[in-house]
Amino acid sequence: MKFSREKAKQAQSREFVTQQPKESLSSLSKAKITITNYLGGQYFLTVDEVLVSRSKVNLIEGKHSKSALLPSKGDIKDGLLKMILYSNLEDVKINGKKMKSEGILSLTSPKIKGSINSSNTKSEISEFFKKNKFTSIQISMVESIFSEAKKNKFTIKIQYAK
């Protein structure tokens, strides 16, 4: 177990200092996250960006596509898995200070015009789909992941990025 944890920590450290070619981040604020479960198991992850306010930390996972309106289904599924983990965190601390946390899945592309998030109104979302010429399959997927976000109390943002 000690060997396995050390390997996981090393992988976390490598990911922490690496910017993936498909990442398009608005800051360079990657952070390390260690999740400890009730059995004492530890999971070493990185989050692409963090935004810290007085009492809340936003844990932002970014997925980017250079050539399509949306990242691949596989990338989105990976992001959703992390959001489910992040939305169920208890006892979140930054430098020893207890904080509330919120997960945000940021889906970006240079082909996107404007931005929306999972808490926009139906009419705003519909207008965004029209402006960006989303197909019915893309609309269906976005609607289903927005529903997932609302049920699990995290946010999904779709926006322009280079």
- For the chain, the structural domain boundaries read 23-29+47-160
Segment 38-60 shows an average pLDDT of: 89
Of 83, 73, 75, 59, residue with least CA distance to 23: 75
pLDDT digits (tens, 9 = 90+) for 93-149: 888 889 999 999 999 999 999 999 999 999 999 999 999 999 999 999 999 999 999
Cα(29)–Cα(49) distance, rounded to whole angstroms? 5
| Half-sphere exposure for 19 (CA within 13 Å, toward CB) | 10
Cα(146)–Cα(23) distance, rounded to whole angstroms? 21
Indicate if the pLDDT at residue 52 is higher than 60: yes
